[in-house]
Amino acid sequence: MYGFYGHGGYPFMFDWTYLLVFAGLILSLAASANVKSTFSKYSRLRSATGMTGAQAAARVLHFAGIYDVTIERVAGNLTDHYDPRTRTLRLSDSTYGSASVAAVCVAAHECGHAVQHQKHYAPLVLRSTLVPAANFGSTMAWPVFLLGLIFSMQPLLTVGIVLFSLAVLFQLVTLPVEFNASSRALRILEGSGMLGDSELSAGRKVLRAAALTYVAGLAASVLQLLRLIILAGGRDRD
């Protein structure tokens, strides 16, 4: 990689390590396409009870003994989320009023986050604690790292790598939070009899596809981190 730096020591866009970023991008795009097609497939499967995403969310929350969470509608597709600050569950246009198995499962997954919040689920607490550090890390990592490359200062390169690692750590902690929300959701959907067996297996596919987007996101970031380490190492030997 030595030769790719030219005389100024500035990495060109086409240095080979860019392939790592490219591979990450492909993984993320594939995961995103997969969740969209899986969701769209099971959006056409109407739930046997005929209940909508919003109705399902209300039932799941009550089943879990939660009565202080508000359910709202939010614009967009797959923009569903639980906001712990306001204890609000926001369901997207494609979930809120839809009586499909996909909608019920996504709504129940968001309820899973509300349950985690209520129970102070450790990975969720850790994740919330990491938010400021992760935001700072992802904003500052590249500027600091580039200054390190331009001025050939190893300490700046190291700081850039550490900053980027904070963002990666955040994504890593997100994984158990997401998988756990889905397993809570499926357990409640099964235990309350809201979904039958074949619906549950369809729901599992939808939620697994959604979780894979977080896995792909983490993989993409790890590849970028690896790239930074390789670039810093190349600098070292200059």
What is the closest distance, in whole angstroms, from the C-beta atom of residue 181 to Zn ion in the complex? 5
Catalytic residue check, 110: yes
What is the closest distance, in whole angstroms, from the C-beta atom of residue 35 to Zn ion in the complex? 12
The residue (of 178 and 199) whose beta carbon lies closer to Zn ion is 178
Q: Which of the ranges 98-106, 154-162, 178-186, 223-231 carries the binding residues for Zn ion, by CB under 5 A?
A: 178-186
Q: Which of the ranges 19-27, 37-45, 127-135, 173-181 carries the binding residues for Zn ion, by CB under 5 A?
A: 173-181
Instruction: Please identify which of the residues 72, 110, 178, 199 carries the catalytic annotation.
Output: 110
Q: Which of the ranges 52-60, 171-179, 183-191, 213-221 carries the binding residues for Zn ion, by CB under 5 A?
A: 171-179
The residue (of 66 and 181) whose beta carbon lies closer to Zn ion is 181
Q: What is the 3-state secondary structure (H, E, C) of the chain?
A: CHHHHCCCCCCCCCCCCHHHHHHHHHHHHHHHHHHHHHHHHHHCCECCCCCCHHHHHHHHHHHCCCCCCEEEEECCCCCCEEECCCCEEEEEHHHHCCCEHHHHHHHHHHHHHHHHHHCCCHHHHHHHHHHHHHHHHHHHHHHHHHHHHHCCCHHHHHHHHHHHHHHHHHHHHHHHHHHHHHHHHHHHHHHCCCCCHHHHHHHHHHHHHHHHHHHHHHHHHHHHHHHHHHHHHHHHHC
The residue (of 20 and 181) whose beta carbon lies closer to Zn ion is 181
125 touches 73 (CB < 8 A): no
What is the closest distance, in whole angstroms, from the C-beta atom of residue 158 to Zn ion in the complex? 33
The residue (of 38 and 165) whose beta carbon lies closer to Zn ion is 38
Q: Which residues bind Zn ion (CB under 5 A)?
A: 178, 181
Active-site residue set: 110
